[in-house]
């Protein structure tokens, strides 16, 4: 039996400054059959969008409007999510379902959860549900679901790009070309080969393992730490060294890539003390979550040279204020949380959100691997990859961001 008429509130990032695209750089995207571990692709009964088009911005609406409105549900889409009088704060009061993307998170803090007594389902259009106060969701028996695996490979590609960009010093080289220069010595005075380096991953889940696999052909020595050890066959295949602590791993690495979720165990894991254990001139690539690193400790380590470079795709809060130190620190290669929202990834997570909604609206079970919290406890992937508690404190700072066009 289908559910009564519901109110679904969806927070998406703004359309491009030049307006919603009328044409695209490519005519199609590859059709993938399954994920690398055999998990099946999102499988909704139907979709109302063209894969490869922009779905994650306000006008894209994740391709959900027709489907929800035809069934009689109310669908609100907004990019107004922070500060006093945001549309989110106004609409969440009687919302049944909230959909948000981690790139532009609708922070569902304890306060917001308390103010939305009807809220029953929080869907993450992507991976990483730390923007939801998971403890409040547990206490209130709100289901939290995400589209597991939808953009894990997208992120792993971004990680490899960032490692090479930092170690080879790509961005300054590009900037010299744009400035009209031919300054070879300036460009290469911080440029090295990755070959032969020690590279370690914090976590070996869907993204971490994909990063390790992609780096293996670069003739580096690979290390990892995770609370779940990989099968012996995988360790052998990739010649991986397992460490029983992050501390043990970072001491031997030249490059560290962070691929674990943000939860109370990992918040500020990379602080001054942890970075102090690393070799001078190491690199950190963090596409997981900004809050896993202490922002001032990272900026200081780049200033002193303890770190030779930092690249990340994730910040806290999001969007970060204009004076966030990671915008101006030396030797960084930051992106504005784009790794998991390529047009290719959007097609998968829009279909995955539709699948989750179809299940929820028709009272069918949501796939176990999509669940983070269910029935008042961590569940599915949440049970495997998270710990109880909340990591949303400080998210109100996102209101300080001023949009530039
Ligand atoms: P996953 O669930 O497959 O893997 C997470 C891994 O982290 C698991 O193996 C788990 O055991 C491990 N882990 C959890 N706590 C740990 C701890 N304290 N120490 C070491 N390992 C720990 O998830 P995934 O698809 O690999 O994604 C991982 C994270 O990456 C997400 O939770 C999200 O925060 C982030 N992410 C970012 C983007 C982006 O666009 N930048 C996109 C997708 C995911």
CB distance 356 to ligand 1 below 6 Å:
no
Percent of the chain topping pLDDT 70: 100
Q: Which residues make beta-bridge pairs with 303?
A: none
Encoded tokens for 144 = 């939290």
**How far, in Å, CA of 17 to CA of 204, rounded?**
37
pLDDT at position 4 is 87
- Residue 81 pLDDT grade (very low, low, confident, very high; cuts 50, 70, 90): very high
pLDDT at position 106 is 97
Which of 399-403's residues contact partners 24+ apart within 8 Å by CB, and which partners? 399/82, 399/83, 399/84, 400/321, 401/82, 401/319, 401/320, 401/321, 401/322, 402/322, 403/14
pLDDT at 344 over 80: yes
Is 169 annotated in the active site? no
pLDDT at position 223 is 99
Mean pLDDT of the chain: 97
Residue 306 backbone phi and psi in degrees, to 5: -55, -40
Cβ neighbours of residue 53 closer than 8 Å, sequence gap 6 or more: 21, 24, 60, 343
Boundaries of every domain in the chain: 7-150+342-380+387-400, 152-327
CB distance 162 to ligand 1 below 6 Å:
no
Starting at the edge strand found earlier in the chain, the sheet holding 377-378 runs 74-78, 7-11, 97-100, 121-124, 143-146, 371-374, 377-378
Is 151 annotated in the active site? yes
CATH topology for 152-327 is Rossmann fold (3.40.50)
Percent of the chain topping pLDDT 90: 97
Q: What is the CA(381)–ligand 1 centre distance, in A?
A: 10
- Residue 403 pLDDT grade (very low, low, confident, very high; cuts 50, 70, 90): confident
Catalytic residue among 73, 206, 289, 324: 289
Is 228 annotated in the active site? no
Kindly compute the dihedral angle of the four CA atoms of residues 330, 335, 340, 342, in this order, to the nearest 10 degrees. Answer: -140
Give the tens place of pLDDT for each residue, 159-183.
Answer: 999 999 999 999 999 999 999 999 9
pLDDT at 207 over 90: yes
pLDDT at 1 over 80: no
Sole residue written with tokens 């695996």: 149
CB distance 348 to ligand 1 below 6 Å:
no
State the average pLDDT over residues 225-246.
98
- Residue 350 pLDDT grade (very low, low, confident, very high; cuts 50, 70, 90): very high
CB of 198 closer than 8 Å to CB of 220 = yes
CB distance 258 to ligand 1 below 6 Å:
no
pLDDT at 78 over 70: yes
**Helix (H, G, I), strand (E, B), or coil: what is residue 84?**
coil
CB of 299 closer than 8 Å to CB of 331 = no
Sole residue written with tokens 């990859």: 385
Starting at the edge strand found earlier in the chain, the sheet holding 221-225 runs 240-242, 221-225, 198-202, 255-258, 282-286, 307-312
What pTM was computed for the model? 0.97
CB distance 205 to ligand 1 below 6 Å:
yes
**How far, in Å, CA of 327 to CA of 36, rounded?**
35
The distance from CA 110 to its chain's CA centroid, rounded to whole angstroms, is 21
Measured from the Cβ of residue 356, the count of other Cβ atoms closer than 10 Å reads: 26
Measured from the Cβ of residue 97, the count of other Cβ atoms closer than 10 Å reads: 25
Cβ neighbours of residue 69 closer than 8 Å, sequence gap 6 or more: 75
Q: Which residues make beta-bridge pairs with 8?
A: 75, 97
Give the tens place of pLDDT for each residue, 11-32.
Answer: 999 999 999 999 999 999 999 9
Range of weakest confidence among 224-233, 282-291, 383-392, 396-405: 396-405
Q: What is the CA(230)–ligand 1 centre distance, in A?
A: 14
CB of 226 closer than 8 Å to CB of 248 = no
Give the tens place of pLDDT for each residue, 116-164.
Answer: 999 999 999 999 999 999 999 999 999 999 999 999 999 999 999 999 9
Which of 22-27's residues contact partners 24+ apart within 8 Å by CB, and which partners? 24/52, 24/53, 24/343, 26/52, 27/52
CB distance 208 to ligand 1 below 6 Å:
yes
**How far, in Å, CA of 298 to CA of 333, rounded?**
13
Q: What is the CA(271)–ligand 1 centre distance, in A?
A: 19
Encoded tokens for 8 = 């679904």
Q: Where are the beta strands (DSSP E) in 96-178?
A: 97-100, 121-124, 143-146
Q: What is the CA(289)–ligand 1 centre distance, in A?
A: 9
CB distance 284 to ligand 1 below 6 Å:
no
Structurally, at CATH architecture level, domain 7-150+342-380+387-400 sits in 3-Layer(aba) Sandwich (3.40)
State the average pLDDT over residues 69-88.
96
pLDDT at position 405 is 63
CB of 226 closer than 8 Å to CB of 258 = no
Catalytic residue among 318, 324, 331, 346: 318
Sole residue written with tokens 């001023």: 402
**Would you put residue 128 in left (φ > 0), alpha (ψ -120 to 50) or beta?**
left
Is 65 annotated in the active site? no
């Amino acid at each position: 039996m289908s559910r009564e008429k519901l109110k679904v509130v969806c927070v998406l990032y703004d359309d491009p400054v030049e307006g919603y695209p009328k044409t695209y750089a490519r005519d199609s995207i590859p059709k993938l059959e399954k994920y690398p571990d055999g998990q099946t692709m999102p499988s909704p009964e139907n979709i109302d969008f063209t894969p490869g088009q922009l779905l994650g911005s306000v006008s894209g609406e994740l391709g959900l409007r027709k489907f929800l409105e035809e069934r009689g549900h109310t669908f609100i889409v907004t990019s107004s999510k922070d500060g006093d009088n945001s549309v989110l704060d106004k609409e969440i009061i009687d919302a049944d379902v909230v959909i948000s993307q981690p790139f532009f998170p609708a922070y569902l803090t304890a306060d917001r959860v308390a103010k939305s007594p009807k809220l029953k389902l929080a869907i993450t259009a992507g991976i990483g549900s730390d923007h939801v106060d998971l403890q409040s969701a547990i206490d209130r028996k709100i289901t939290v679901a995400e589209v597991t695996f939808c953009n894990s490979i997208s992120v792993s590609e971004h990680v490899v790009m960032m490692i090479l960009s930092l170690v080879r010093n790509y961005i300054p080289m590009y900037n010299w070309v744009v400035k009209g220069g031919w300054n070879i010595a300036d460009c290469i005075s911080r440029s090295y080969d990755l070959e032969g380096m020690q590279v370690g991953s914090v976590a070996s889940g869907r993204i971490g393992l994909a990063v390790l696999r992609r780096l293996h052909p670069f003739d580096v020595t690979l290390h990892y730490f995770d609370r779940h050890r990989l099968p012996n066959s995988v360790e052998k295949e990739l010649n991986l060294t397992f460490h029983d602590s992050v501390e043990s791993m970072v001491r031997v690495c030249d490059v560290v890539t962070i691929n674990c979720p943000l939860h109370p165990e990992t918040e500020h894991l990379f602080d001054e003390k942890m970075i102090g254990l690393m070799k001078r001139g190491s690199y950190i690539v963090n596409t997981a979550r900004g809050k896993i690193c202490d922002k001032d400790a990272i900026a200081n380590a780049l200033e002193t040279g303890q770190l030779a470079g930092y690249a990340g795709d994730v910040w806290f809060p999001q969007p970060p204020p204009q004076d966030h130190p990671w915008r101006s620190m030396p030797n960084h290669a930051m992106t504005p949380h784009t790794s998991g929202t390529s047009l290719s990834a959007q097609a998968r997570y829009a279909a995955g959100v539709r699948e989750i909604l179809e299940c929820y609206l028709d009272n069918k079970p949501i796939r176990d691997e999509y669940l983070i919290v269910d029935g008042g406890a961590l569940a599915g992937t949440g049970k495997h990859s998270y710990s109880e508690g909340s990591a949303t404190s400080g998210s109100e700072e996102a209101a300080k961001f001023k949009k530039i066009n």
